[in-house]
Structure 1
Amino acid sequence: MSDVAKNYAKAYNRTVGFGDRPALILVDFAHAYYDPECPLYGGEGCATALQAALTLRRAAKDAGIPVILTTVTYQLGGLDGGRFFEKAAPLEAFLPGRKTAEFAEGLVPEDDELVIAKQYPSAFFGTSLASTLTAMGCDSVLLTGLTTSGCVRASCVDAMSHGFRTTVVREACGDRHPDPHEANLFDMNAKYADVVSLDETLDWLTRKAA
Structure 2
Amino acid sequence: MTDDLAANYARAYNRSVGFGARPALMLIDFCQGYFDPACDLYAGVEETLASALRVREAARAAGVPVVLTNVVYQAGGRDGGRFFEKAAPLKNFVRGNPMGAWPSGLTPHDDELVISKQYPSAFFATSLASTLTALGIDSVLLTGLTTSGCVRATCVDAMSHGFRTTVIADACGDRHPAPHEANLFDMNAKYADVVREAEAIAFLGSLGPR
Give deviations 1:118-171, integer Å, cap 9, x for gaps. 000001011100000000000000000000000000000000000000000010
| Matched-pair identity in % | 67
The structural deviation recorded for 1:190 is 0.1
CA drift of 1:209 comes to: 1.5
SS of match in other structure, 1:80: helix
Q: When the two structures are superposed, what TM-score results if normalisation uses the length of structure 1?
A: 0.97
- Asked if 1:180 is matched to 2:144, the reply is no
How far apart, CA to CA, are the structure 1 residues paired with 2:4 and 2:46?
Answer: 36
Gaps of 5+ in 1: none
- Residue 30 of structure 2 corresponds to residue 22 of structure 1: no
**1:161 counterpart residue number:** 160
TM-score calculated relative to the size of structure 2 = 0.97
Superposition map of 1:194-209 within 5 A = 194-209=193-208
Give the partner amino acid of 2:127.
Answer: S
How far residue 2 of structure 1 moved from its aligned partner, in angstroms, is 2.9
**What is the Cα-based RMSD across aligned positions, in Å?**
1.1
User: Partners in 1 of 2:73 and 2:207 — Cα distance?
Assistant: 38
Aligned to 1:123: 122
- Per-residue CA deviations over 1:149-206 (Å, capped at 9, x if unaligned) read 0000000000000000000001000011111100000000000000001001111111
Other-structure match for 1:37: 38
Alignment-mate amino acid for residue 154 of structure 1 = A
SS of residue matched to 2:120 = coil
Count of aligned positions: 208
SS at match of 1:179: helix
Amino acid at match of 1:107: L
Runs of 4+ in 1 over 6 A off after TM superposition: none
- Aligned equivalents of 1:203 and 1:5: distance in 2? 26
Report the equivalent of 1:12: 13
Whole-angstrom distance in 1 between the partners of 2:91 and 2:7:
43
Separation in structure 2 between the aligned mates of residue 159 and residue 47 of structure 1, nearest angstrom: 26
Aligned to 2:112: 113
Whole-Å separation in 2 of the counterparts to 1:32 and 1:188: 25
1:5 CA drift (Å): 3.2
Where does residue 144 of structure 1 map in the other structure?
143
